[in-house]
Amino acid sequence: MLVLKFGGTSVGTAERIKDVGRLIVGGKAKIVVLSAMSGTTNRLLEYAGYLFKNEKYAARKHLNSLKQHYYSIIDELFNTSSGKGKAEGLIQYHFEYLDSFNRDLFTHFEEKAVLAQGEMISTALMHYHLEEIGITSVLLPALSFMRIDKDQEPDNYYIKENLERERIQHPDANLFITQGFICRDVFGEIDNLKRGGSDYTASIIGAAIDAEEIQIWTDIDGFHNNDPRIVKNTTRIDELSFDEVAELAYFGAKILHPTSVRPAQLKNIPVRLKNTLLPDSPGTLITEKVSGKGKIKAVAAKDGISSIRIRSGRMLLAYGFLRKVFEIFESHKTSIDMITTSEVSVSVTIDETEHLDAIVEDLQKYGTVSLTNDQSIVCVVGDLIAERKGVARIVLNALSDIPLRMISYGSSSNNISLLINSSDKDKALNELSKQLFK
Ligand code: ADP
Ligand code: ASP
Ligand code: MG
């Protein structure tokens, strides 16, 4: 069994939905995971924004314009009156539901239900389209099996059991379609796997069914060696290891959701990145194998980082100091990305600033705390074994004009991370490409 995930642009227009229809028909049995059509999740988020501010008129206007957009897609996608009728009924149903939030109190719980409608619509449109062209598919409701636990982690046992229960109701089916991104929380309320979460859905499902391969279909021909939105002439990488991709995705490579390879990695299921517009292009294959000995593979950057430095004379020769510092972050459920230490101070970075004030207040018990916002972590990934001399020099040379606030090297053999001001990020990525991949 294969798992194929198609992102927002891959199903972004009527024409693209038809293209995906052609790609998924026939061949091996598969579960197809779809994102919302491109732009929809953002527009639903804007709608929720109006509802939070209680701007009822603006909210309705916004929703109507999105609804009209869907009617024009239906016009193009369906040829038969029965197909069109079903799709119009679908849009009517989901937009009435969305409109119902414009009457009551609106909280973050309702927002999650609003955001879920994009994937509900895209998957149903695909299902009706396939039906119209005579292809049988089964719509698997993600909300009946995809669930996260109290720590926001996938509840793998529940997912496996319930997905299996849904699947065995259709013993002869070989084409299943389901929603990416959406899930239920530990209380059974609608939730999601965070932005870009459809990749994660595909990997979680792949692991749950022990898939032969997980394919992530998107709008680019594979994993590139730098961010193509910022650097010109980036090139595709043929093969990457799970560990390399985990670092790159976590540190900002938008092509994959930050934690999306982990479920696949735990089950050692190959992940292939493919381009929906160029289906014959080989894409990027991600497995446990590390290829390209001694090579730097790629660079990525993550914004929205805050760095915190704690200076304390008491750190000198003191054991247990770091434990106390880490316990503060743990108690505020905030994870640390980078750490550097000297004899009298320790600096850490975080990307989750919800509890920042409380963290700083707690840390002040142990020393002088200084905070810097608007930072970016640049991450250089490859086979960077310590025996290979000069890797750090090449990286540092490339960044010789850029103030480096922290450097982390040596904790793994595949990553060098550097903290810089976000305003220097574009320059840093371009300089690194020039020096590393010339
Ligand atoms: P989807 O909607 O299919 O999930 P995304 O927009 O989330 O697609 O991810 C694909 C985009 O990721 C590409 O169009 C590209 O601009 C961006 N991207 C950022 N870094 C990389 C990278 N290292 N390699 C490839 N694409 C990248
Ligand atoms: N539709 C969701 C988003 O825009 C999930 C995804 O596309 O992966 O974030
Ligand atoms: Mg994505």
Pocket residues: Cβ below 6 A from ligand 2? 7-8, 35-36, 41, 118, 180-181, 195-198
CA of 255 to the centre of ligand 3 (A): 6
User: Ligand 1 atom closest to Cα of 7?
Assistant: 3
CA-closest residue to ligand 2 atom 4: 41
Please report how many Cα atoms fall inside a 13 Å half-sphere around the Cα of residue 231, on the Cβ side. 27
pLDDT along the chain (438 residues), means of 10: 98 98 96 98 98 96 98 98 98 98 92 98 98 98 98 96 97 97 98 98 98 98 98 96 95 95 98 97 96 89 96 72 91 94 90 94 93 97 77 91 93 90 98 92
User: Ligand 2 atom closest to Cα of 42?
Assistant: 4
> What global pTM score does this model have?
0.95
User: Ligand 2 atom closest to Cα of 197?
Assistant: 8
Whole-number pLDDT of residue 190: 98
> H or E element: which one contains 376?
strand 368-382
Pocket mutation for ligand 2, best pick of 10, 11, 38, 195 (most atoms within 8 Å of C-beta): 195
Smallest CA-to-CA distance from 261 within 125, 270, 253 is with: 270
Residue 307 tokens, joined: 């760095």
CA of 249 to the centre of ligand 2 (A): 15
Pocket residues: Cβ below 6 A from ligand 1? 7-10, 35, 196, 218-220, 223-224, 227-229, 253-255, 300
Torsion over CA: 101, 107, 110, 115 (sign): positive
Whole-number pLDDT of residue 292: 83
Domains within the chain, CATH numbers bracketed: 2-219 (3.40.1160.10), 296-436 (3.30.2130.10)
Whole-number pLDDT of residue 320: 81
d(CA 157, CA 178): 19
d(CA 353, CA 22): 44
Sort 298 into a burial class: Cβ within 10 Å, 0-12 / 13-18 / 19+.
buried
The ligand with the least distance to the CA atom of 40 is 2
CA of 345 to the centre of ligand 2 (A): 40
